A and B are shown apart, each in its own frame.
Chain A
Protein backbone atom coordinates (compact mmCIF):
# COMPACT_ATOMS: atom_id res chain seq x y z
CA UNK A 1 0.00 0.00 0.00
CA UNK A 2 1.18 3.47 -0.79
CA UNK A 3 -0.13 6.94 -0.15
CA UNK A 4 -2.80 8.42 -2.31
CA UNK A 5 -2.91 11.98 -3.51
CA UNK A 6 -6.13 13.81 -4.39
CA UNK A 7 -6.45 16.67 -6.86
CA UNK A 8 -9.43 18.61 -8.12
CA UNK A 9 -8.24 20.53 -11.21
CA UNK A 10 -10.31 23.43 -12.54
CA UNK A 11 -9.34 23.11 -16.20
CA UNK A 12 -8.75 20.49 -18.84
CA UNK A 13 -5.16 21.68 -19.21
CA UNK A 14 -4.46 21.16 -15.51
CA UNK A 15 -6.09 17.75 -15.58
CA UNK A 16 -4.08 16.61 -18.57
CA UNK A 17 -0.83 17.65 -16.91
CA UNK A 18 -1.78 15.65 -13.82
CA UNK A 19 -2.78 12.69 -15.93
CA UNK A 20 0.61 12.72 -17.59
CA UNK A 21 2.36 12.69 -14.24
CA UNK A 22 2.17 8.97 -13.58
CA UNK A 23 1.60 5.64 -15.20
CA UNK A 24 -1.95 5.13 -16.43
CA UNK A 25 -2.62 2.35 -13.94
CA UNK A 26 -1.59 4.46 -11.03
CA UNK A 27 -3.54 7.60 -11.82
CA UNK A 28 -7.27 7.33 -11.73
CA UNK A 29 -9.83 9.92 -12.68
CA UNK A 30 -12.96 10.36 -10.67
CA UNK A 31 -15.83 11.27 -12.95
CA UNK A 32 -18.69 9.72 -11.00
CA UNK A 33 -16.77 7.56 -8.59
CA UNK A 34 -19.29 4.74 -8.48
CA UNK A 35 -16.83 2.26 -9.94
CA UNK A 36 -13.59 3.79 -8.69
CA UNK A 37 -14.58 3.86 -5.02
CA UNK A 38 -15.93 0.32 -5.13
CA UNK A 39 -12.65 -0.84 -6.64
CA UNK A 40 -10.73 1.01 -3.95
CA UNK A 41 -12.78 -0.23 -0.99
CA UNK A 42 -13.34 -3.79 -2.18
CA UNK A 43 -9.79 -4.83 -1.62
CA UNK A 44 -8.23 -3.29 -4.70
CA UNK A 45 -5.16 -1.17 -4.23
CA UNK A 46 -5.44 2.58 -3.98
CA UNK A 47 -4.15 4.66 -6.88
CA UNK A 48 -1.28 7.04 -6.26
CA UNK A 49 -3.31 9.94 -7.60
CA UNK A 50 -7.04 10.53 -7.84
CA UNK A 51 -8.09 13.35 -10.16
CA UNK A 52 -11.59 14.63 -9.48
CA UNK A 53 -12.98 15.97 -12.77
CA UNK A 54 -16.17 17.45 -11.39
CA UNK A 55 -14.75 20.93 -11.05
CA UNK A 56 -13.89 21.26 -14.75
CA UNK A 57 -16.78 23.17 -16.34
CA UNK A 58 -16.47 21.48 -19.76
CA UNK A 59 -16.71 18.06 -18.19
CA UNK A 60 -19.98 18.62 -16.35
CA UNK A 61 -21.66 20.69 -19.06
CA UNK A 62 -24.67 19.50 -21.04
CA UNK A 63 -25.45 21.48 -24.19
CA UNK A 64 -26.99 21.33 -27.65
CA UNK A 65 -25.46 23.13 -30.64
CA UNK A 66 -27.37 24.86 -33.40
CA UNK A 67 -27.56 21.67 -35.46
CA UNK A 68 -29.29 19.94 -32.56
CA UNK A 69 -26.28 17.80 -31.69
CA UNK A 70 -26.03 16.94 -28.01
CA UNK A 71 -22.75 17.40 -26.14
CA UNK A 72 -22.56 15.52 -22.86
CA UNK A 73 -19.73 16.42 -20.52
CA UNK A 74 -17.94 13.22 -19.60
CA UNK A 75 -18.49 13.79 -15.87
CA UNK A 76 -22.08 15.06 -16.05
CA UNK A 77 -24.04 12.91 -13.66
CA UNK A 78 -26.85 10.61 -14.71
CA UNK A 79 -29.39 12.29 -12.49
CA UNK A 80 -28.84 15.67 -14.11
CA UNK A 81 -29.03 14.12 -17.57
CA UNK A 82 -32.25 12.39 -16.52
CA UNK A 83 -33.79 15.71 -15.53
CA UNK A 84 -33.01 17.24 -18.95
CA UNK A 85 -36.28 17.48 -20.86
CA UNK A 86 -34.68 18.07 -24.25
CA UNK A 87 -32.58 14.92 -23.93
CA UNK A 88 -35.72 13.00 -23.00
CA UNK A 89 -37.46 14.34 -26.11
CA UNK A 90 -34.62 13.97 -28.56
CA UNK A 91 -32.80 10.89 -27.28
CA UNK A 92 -35.50 8.92 -25.46
CA UNK A 93 -33.52 5.67 -25.60
CA UNK A 94 -30.38 7.20 -24.13
CA UNK A 95 -32.58 8.86 -21.54
CA UNK A 96 -34.03 5.44 -20.66
CA UNK A 97 -30.56 3.92 -20.42
CA UNK A 98 -29.28 6.68 -18.16
CA UNK A 99 -32.38 6.31 -15.98
CA UNK A 100 -31.67 2.61 -15.52
CA UNK A 101 -28.18 3.07 -14.08
CA UNK A 102 -28.39 1.96 -10.47
CA UNK A 103 -30.46 3.80 -7.92
CA UNK A 104 -31.22 7.51 -7.59
CA UNK A 105 -28.21 7.59 -5.27
CA UNK A 106 -25.95 6.03 -7.90
CA UNK A 107 -27.35 8.31 -10.59
CA UNK A 108 -26.42 11.27 -8.45
CA UNK A 109 -22.80 10.29 -9.02
CA UNK A 110 -22.48 8.07 -12.08
CA UNK A 111 -21.53 9.68 -15.37
CA UNK A 112 -21.99 8.58 -18.96
CA UNK A 113 -18.32 9.29 -19.59
CA UNK A 114 -17.31 7.05 -16.72
CA UNK A 115 -19.72 4.37 -17.88
CA UNK A 116 -18.05 4.48 -21.30
CA UNK A 117 -14.45 4.62 -20.05
CA UNK A 118 -14.95 1.65 -17.72
CA UNK A 119 -16.07 -0.23 -20.82
CA UNK A 120 -18.07 -2.84 -18.97
CA UNK A 121 -19.71 -5.30 -21.36
CA UNK A 122 -22.97 -4.64 -19.52
CA UNK A 123 -22.80 -0.83 -19.35
CA UNK A 124 -26.29 0.50 -19.87
CA UNK A 125 -25.46 3.64 -21.84
CA UNK A 126 -22.99 2.24 -24.35
CA UNK A 127 -25.54 0.52 -26.64
CA UNK A 128 -27.43 3.80 -26.88
CA UNK A 129 -24.22 5.73 -27.60
CA UNK A 130 -23.48 3.21 -30.34
CA UNK A 131 -26.86 3.45 -32.05
CA UNK A 132 -26.73 7.24 -31.79
CA UNK A 133 -23.29 7.24 -33.48
CA UNK A 134 -21.79 9.14 -30.60
CA UNK A 135 -18.30 10.57 -30.95
CA UNK A 136 -15.74 10.96 -28.17
CA UNK A 137 -13.91 14.28 -27.84
CA UNK A 138 -10.55 13.63 -26.26
CA UNK A 139 -7.99 16.08 -24.91
CA UNK A 140 -4.35 15.18 -24.71
CA UNK A 141 -0.99 16.61 -23.63
CA UNK A 142 0.08 19.93 -25.07
CA UNK A 143 -3.40 21.02 -26.02
CA UNK A 144 -3.88 18.15 -28.46
CA UNK A 145 -7.41 17.06 -29.20
CA UNK A 146 -8.84 14.22 -31.22
CA UNK A 147 -12.18 12.58 -31.85
CA UNK A 148 -13.06 8.91 -32.00
CA UNK A 149 -16.38 7.18 -32.60
CA UNK A 150 -17.63 5.30 -29.54
CA UNK A 151 -17.47 2.10 -31.58
CA UNK A 152 -13.71 2.54 -31.83
CA UNK A 153 -13.24 3.88 -28.32
CA UNK A 154 -13.97 0.57 -26.62
CA UNK A 155 -11.23 -1.97 -27.11
CA UNK A 156 -12.25 -4.75 -24.78
CA UNK A 157 -13.77 -5.46 -21.38
CA UNK A 158 -12.52 -2.65 -19.14
CA UNK A 159 -10.25 -1.31 -21.87
CA UNK A 160 -10.64 1.94 -23.82
CA UNK A 161 -8.62 3.81 -26.42
CA UNK A 162 -7.35 6.58 -24.16
CA UNK A 163 -3.59 6.96 -24.27
CA UNK A 164 -1.41 8.07 -21.37
CA UNK A 165 -2.24 11.66 -20.49
CA UNK A 166 -5.51 11.68 -22.43
CA UNK A 167 -8.85 12.72 -21.04
CA UNK A 168 -12.35 12.07 -22.36
CA UNK A 169 -13.90 15.54 -22.36
CA UNK A 170 -17.31 15.10 -23.85
CA UNK A 171 -19.53 12.96 -26.01
CA UNK A 172 -21.15 14.34 -29.11
CA UNK A 173 -24.42 12.80 -30.27
CA UNK A 174 -25.40 14.04 -33.72
CA UNK A 175 -28.92 15.39 -34.07
CA UNK A 176 -31.21 12.51 -34.99
CA UNK A 177 -32.71 12.57 -38.47
CA UNK A 178 -36.36 13.50 -38.89
CA UNK A 179 -38.73 10.65 -38.03
CA UNK A 180 -35.98 8.91 -36.13
CA UNK A 181 -36.12 7.63 -32.58
CA UNK A 182 -34.26 5.32 -30.24
CA UNK A 183 -35.28 3.07 -27.37
CA UNK A 184 -33.44 1.03 -24.75
CA UNK A 185 -34.50 -1.86 -22.56
CA UNK A 186 -32.60 -4.32 -20.47
CA UNK A 187 -33.38 -7.54 -18.69
CA UNK A 188 -32.55 -7.77 -15.03
CA UNK A 189 -33.87 -10.29 -12.50
CA UNK A 190 -35.11 -7.59 -10.15
CA UNK A 191 -36.82 -4.38 -11.21
CA UNK A 192 -33.89 -2.15 -10.22
CA UNK A 193 -30.32 -2.22 -8.94
CA UNK A 194 -29.02 -5.14 -11.03
CA UNK A 195 -26.40 -5.18 -13.73
CA UNK A 196 -27.96 -5.81 -17.14
CA UNK A 197 -28.16 -9.47 -18.13
CA UNK A 198 -28.96 -8.24 -21.62
CA UNK A 199 -29.34 -4.65 -22.82
CA UNK A 200 -30.64 -3.61 -26.23
CA UNK A 201 -30.69 -0.25 -27.95
CA UNK A 202 -32.43 0.25 -31.29
CA UNK A 203 -32.65 3.39 -33.38
CA UNK A 204 -34.89 3.48 -36.43
CA UNK A 205 -35.74 6.15 -38.99
CA UNK A 206 -38.94 5.88 -40.98
CA UNK A 207 -40.29 7.72 -44.00
CA UNK A 208 -43.78 9.11 -44.18
CA UNK A 209 -45.13 5.77 -45.44
CA UNK A 210 -43.86 4.14 -42.28
CA UNK A 211 -41.08 2.28 -44.03
CA UNK A 212 -37.79 2.00 -42.18
CA UNK A 213 -35.08 3.86 -44.03
CA UNK A 214 -32.30 3.51 -41.50
CA UNK A 215 -31.72 1.40 -38.40
CA UNK A 216 -29.11 0.62 -35.84
CA UNK A 217 -29.14 -2.16 -33.23
CA UNK A 218 -26.68 -2.51 -30.35
CA UNK A 219 -26.50 -5.12 -27.62
CA UNK A 220 -24.97 -5.06 -24.16
CA UNK A 221 -23.85 -7.90 -21.87
CA UNK A 222 -23.81 -10.52 -24.61
CA UNK A 223 -20.20 -10.23 -25.75
CA UNK A 224 -16.86 -9.00 -24.35
CA UNK A 225 -17.96 -5.46 -25.25
CA UNK A 226 -21.25 -3.87 -26.24
CA UNK A 227 -21.70 -4.61 -29.95
CA UNK A 228 -23.41 -3.13 -32.96
CA UNK A 229 -25.35 -5.75 -34.90
CA UNK A 230 -25.52 -4.58 -38.53
CA UNK A 231 -27.32 -7.80 -39.54
CA UNK A 232 -30.16 -6.98 -37.19
CA UNK A 233 -30.30 -3.42 -38.48
CA UNK A 234 -30.31 -4.68 -42.07
CA UNK A 235 -33.28 -6.89 -41.27
CA UNK A 236 -35.24 -3.77 -40.39
CA UNK A 237 -34.25 -1.39 -43.19
CA UNK A 238 -36.68 -1.35 -46.08
CA UNK A 239 -39.44 -3.03 -44.09
CA UNK A 240 -42.55 -1.57 -42.54
CA UNK A 241 -41.37 -2.95 -39.18
CA UNK A 242 -44.11 -5.56 -39.07
CA UNK A 243 -43.90 -8.35 -36.46
CA UNK A 244 -42.25 -10.71 -38.94
CA UNK A 245 -39.58 -8.10 -39.70
CA UNK A 246 -38.90 -7.64 -36.02
CA UNK A 247 -38.58 -11.40 -35.62
CA UNK A 248 -35.92 -11.47 -38.32
CA UNK A 249 -34.02 -8.72 -36.54
CA UNK A 250 -34.40 -10.63 -33.29
CA UNK A 251 -32.94 -13.77 -34.85
CA UNK A 252 -30.02 -11.77 -36.20
CA UNK A 253 -29.42 -10.24 -32.78
CA UNK A 254 -29.43 -13.62 -31.08
CA UNK A 255 -27.06 -14.98 -33.68
CA UNK A 256 -24.60 -12.15 -33.07
CA UNK A 257 -24.27 -12.88 -29.33
CA UNK A 258 -21.07 -14.33 -27.91
CA UNK A 259 -22.21 -14.51 -24.31
CA UNK A 260 -20.85 -16.00 -21.11
CA UNK A 261 -22.38 -18.17 -18.41
CA UNK A 262 -22.04 -16.40 -15.12
CA UNK A 263 -23.76 -15.51 -11.87
CA UNK A 264 -26.03 -13.11 -13.71
CA UNK A 265 -27.31 -15.43 -16.42
CA UNK A 266 -26.55 -18.30 -18.71
CA UNK A 267 -25.18 -17.88 -22.22
CA UNK A 268 -28.24 -19.53 -23.71
CA UNK A 269 -30.51 -17.23 -21.76
CA UNK A 270 -28.67 -14.14 -22.91
CA UNK A 271 -28.86 -15.25 -26.51
CA UNK A 272 -32.59 -15.87 -26.26
CA UNK A 273 -33.42 -12.66 -24.48
CA UNK A 274 -31.27 -10.55 -26.77
CA UNK A 275 -33.69 -11.52 -29.50
CA UNK A 276 -36.78 -10.94 -27.40
CA UNK A 277 -35.65 -7.51 -26.35
CA UNK A 278 -34.53 -6.57 -29.86
CA UNK A 279 -38.06 -7.24 -31.04
CA UNK A 280 -39.62 -5.28 -28.20
CA UNK A 281 -37.21 -2.37 -28.34
CA UNK A 282 -37.47 -2.09 -32.14
CA UNK A 283 -41.25 -1.95 -31.83
CA UNK A 284 -40.93 0.80 -29.24
CA UNK A 285 -38.46 2.78 -31.33
CA UNK A 286 -40.68 2.38 -34.39
CA UNK A 287 -43.70 3.68 -32.57
CA UNK A 288 -41.75 6.70 -31.39
CA UNK A 289 -40.31 7.37 -34.83
CA UNK A 290 -43.73 7.25 -36.44
CA UNK A 291 -45.00 9.74 -33.92
CA UNK A 292 -42.44 12.33 -34.99
Chain B
Protein backbone atom coordinates (compact mmCIF):
# COMPACT_ATOMS: atom_id res chain seq x y z
CA UNK B 1 0.00 0.00 0.00
CA UNK B 2 2.66 2.50 1.06
CA UNK B 3 5.00 1.35 -1.71
CA UNK B 4 2.20 1.93 -4.22
CA UNK B 5 1.71 5.41 -2.78
CA UNK B 6 5.42 6.15 -3.26
CA UNK B 7 5.14 5.06 -6.90
CA UNK B 8 2.06 7.27 -7.40
CA UNK B 9 3.82 10.30 -5.91
CA UNK B 10 6.91 9.70 -8.03
CA UNK B 11 4.82 9.46 -11.21
CA UNK B 12 2.92 12.58 -10.13
CA UNK B 13 6.23 14.40 -9.72
CA UNK B 14 7.35 13.35 -13.19
CA UNK B 15 4.04 14.60 -14.65
CA UNK B 16 4.48 17.79 -12.64
CA UNK B 17 7.87 18.46 -14.26
CA UNK B 18 6.64 17.48 -17.72
CA UNK B 19 3.81 20.01 -17.36
CA UNK B 20 6.28 22.61 -16.04
CA UNK B 21 8.54 22.00 -19.03
CA UNK B 22 5.59 22.44 -21.42
CA UNK B 23 4.60 25.68 -19.69
CA UNK B 24 8.21 26.88 -19.77
CA UNK B 25 8.44 26.03 -23.47
CA UNK B 26 5.25 27.93 -24.24
CA UNK B 27 6.43 30.86 -22.10
CA UNK B 28 9.73 30.86 -23.98
CA UNK B 29 7.90 30.93 -27.34
CA UNK B 30 5.80 33.85 -26.12
CA UNK B 31 8.94 35.74 -25.10
CA UNK B 32 10.93 34.92 -28.24
CA UNK B 33 8.24 35.84 -30.75
CA UNK B 34 5.55 37.91 -29.01
CA UNK B 35 4.33 39.58 -32.20
CA UNK B 36 3.35 36.24 -33.72
CA UNK B 37 1.11 35.46 -30.75
CA UNK B 38 -0.25 39.01 -30.52
CA UNK B 39 -1.27 38.81 -34.19
CA UNK B 40 -2.85 35.44 -33.57
CA UNK B 41 -4.87 36.83 -30.67
CA UNK B 42 -5.86 39.85 -32.77
CA UNK B 43 -7.76 37.49 -35.06
CA UNK B 44 -9.95 36.41 -32.13
CA UNK B 45 -10.12 39.76 -30.36
CA UNK B 46 -10.88 42.88 -32.34
CA UNK B 47 -9.48 45.30 -29.79
CA UNK B 48 -5.68 45.60 -29.29
CA UNK B 49 -6.06 45.98 -25.50
CA UNK B 50 -8.13 42.80 -25.33
CA UNK B 51 -5.60 40.70 -27.25
CA UNK B 52 -2.77 42.23 -25.17
CA UNK B 53 -4.55 41.20 -21.98
CA UNK B 54 -4.90 37.63 -23.27
CA UNK B 55 -1.22 37.60 -24.23
CA UNK B 56 -0.16 38.89 -20.81
CA UNK B 57 -2.43 36.39 -19.09
CA UNK B 58 -0.94 33.48 -21.05
CA UNK B 59 2.66 34.65 -20.53
CA UNK B 60 2.30 35.17 -16.78
CA UNK B 61 0.35 31.93 -16.39
CA UNK B 62 3.27 30.08 -17.96
CA UNK B 63 5.77 31.85 -15.71
CA UNK B 64 3.67 31.19 -12.60
CA UNK B 65 3.63 27.50 -13.43
CA UNK B 66 7.36 27.24 -12.66
CA UNK B 67 7.36 28.19 -8.95
CA UNK B 68 4.25 26.06 -8.50
CA UNK B 69 6.04 23.08 -10.08
CA UNK B 70 9.01 23.64 -7.76
CA UNK B 71 6.68 23.78 -4.74
CA UNK B 72 4.83 20.64 -5.86
CA UNK B 73 8.22 18.92 -6.26
CA UNK B 74 9.11 19.88 -2.68
CA UNK B 75 5.76 18.55 -1.40
CA UNK B 76 5.91 15.25 -3.29
CA UNK B 77 9.54 14.48 -2.46
CA UNK B 78 8.94 15.22 1.24
CA UNK B 79 5.85 13.01 1.19
CA UNK B 80 7.86 10.14 -0.33
CA UNK B 81 10.55 10.59 2.34
CA UNK B 82 7.90 10.59 5.08
CA UNK B 83 6.32 7.40 3.77
CA UNK B 84 9.76 5.76 3.65
CA UNK B 85 10.38 6.70 7.28
CA UNK B 86 6.96 5.33 8.18
CA UNK B 87 7.80 2.06 6.42
CA UNK B 88 10.99 1.90 8.49
CA UNK B 89 8.88 2.32 11.65
CA UNK B 90 9.95 5.87 12.40
CA UNK B 91 6.87 7.92 11.51
CA UNK B 92 7.14 10.20 14.54
CA UNK B 93 10.55 11.75 14.10
CA UNK B 94 12.06 15.22 14.13
CA UNK B 95 12.91 14.92 10.42
CA UNK B 96 9.28 14.15 9.55
CA UNK B 97 8.17 17.16 11.59
CA UNK B 98 10.59 19.31 9.58
CA UNK B 99 9.28 17.82 6.33
CA UNK B 100 5.70 18.65 7.32
CA UNK B 101 6.75 22.23 8.07
CA UNK B 102 8.45 22.42 4.66
CA UNK B 103 5.30 21.06 3.00
CA UNK B 104 3.25 23.72 4.81
CA UNK B 105 5.50 26.54 3.51
CA UNK B 106 5.47 25.07 0.00
CA UNK B 107 1.67 24.97 0.12
CA UNK B 108 1.65 28.58 1.29
CA UNK B 109 3.82 29.48 -1.71
CA UNK B 110 1.34 27.72 -4.03
CA UNK B 111 -1.53 29.64 -2.39
CA UNK B 112 0.30 32.93 -2.91
CA UNK B 113 0.93 32.15 -6.57
CA UNK B 114 -2.71 31.10 -6.93
CA UNK B 115 -3.78 34.42 -5.45
CA UNK B 116 -1.57 36.28 -7.92
CA UNK B 117 -2.93 34.10 -10.72
CA UNK B 118 -6.44 34.98 -9.55
CA UNK B 119 -5.71 38.69 -9.72
CA UNK B 120 -4.24 38.24 -13.18
CA UNK B 121 -7.28 36.24 -14.34
CA UNK B 122 -9.75 38.76 -12.93
CA UNK B 123 -7.87 41.59 -14.65
CA UNK B 124 -7.59 39.70 -17.96
CA UNK B 125 -11.27 38.71 -17.82
CA UNK B 126 -12.30 42.32 -17.18
CA UNK B 127 -10.17 43.72 -20.01
CA UNK B 128 -10.82 41.05 -22.63
CA UNK B 129 -14.40 40.18 -21.78
CA UNK B 130 -13.37 36.52 -21.84
CA UNK B 131 -13.81 34.49 -18.64
CA UNK B 132 -10.48 33.03 -17.48
CA UNK B 133 -11.94 30.79 -14.82
CA UNK B 134 -10.61 31.37 -11.33
CA UNK B 135 -12.43 31.21 -8.03
CA UNK B 136 -10.98 31.89 -4.58
CA UNK B 137 -10.67 28.87 -2.33
CA UNK B 138 -10.03 28.76 1.40
CA UNK B 139 -9.11 25.07 1.46
CA UNK B 140 -5.43 25.66 0.70
CA UNK B 141 -5.19 28.48 3.24
CA UNK B 142 -6.72 26.30 5.97
CA UNK B 143 -4.35 23.46 5.12
CA UNK B 144 -1.23 25.53 5.89
CA UNK B 145 -1.93 26.09 9.63
CA UNK B 146 -3.31 22.56 9.82
CA UNK B 147 0.02 21.17 8.57
CA UNK B 148 1.98 23.41 10.94
CA UNK B 149 -0.09 22.09 13.87
CA UNK B 150 0.46 18.56 12.60
CA UNK B 151 4.22 19.23 12.44
CA UNK B 152 4.07 20.34 16.07
CA UNK B 153 2.24 17.11 16.96
CA UNK B 154 4.92 15.11 15.15
CA UNK B 155 7.59 16.92 17.20
CA UNK B 156 5.76 16.04 20.42
CA UNK B 157 5.35 12.46 19.19
CA UNK B 158 9.06 12.26 18.39
CA UNK B 159 9.93 13.52 21.89
CA UNK B 160 7.55 10.99 23.47
CA UNK B 161 9.00 8.22 21.35
CA UNK B 162 12.50 9.22 22.40
CA UNK B 163 11.45 9.12 26.05
CA UNK B 164 9.82 5.75 25.56
CA UNK B 165 13.02 4.40 24.03
CA UNK B 166 14.81 5.18 27.31
CA UNK B 167 12.11 3.53 29.42
CA UNK B 168 12.80 0.09 30.77
- Do the two chains bind? no
| Chain A interface residues toward B at CB < 8 A | none
| Chain B interface residues toward A at CB < 8 A | none
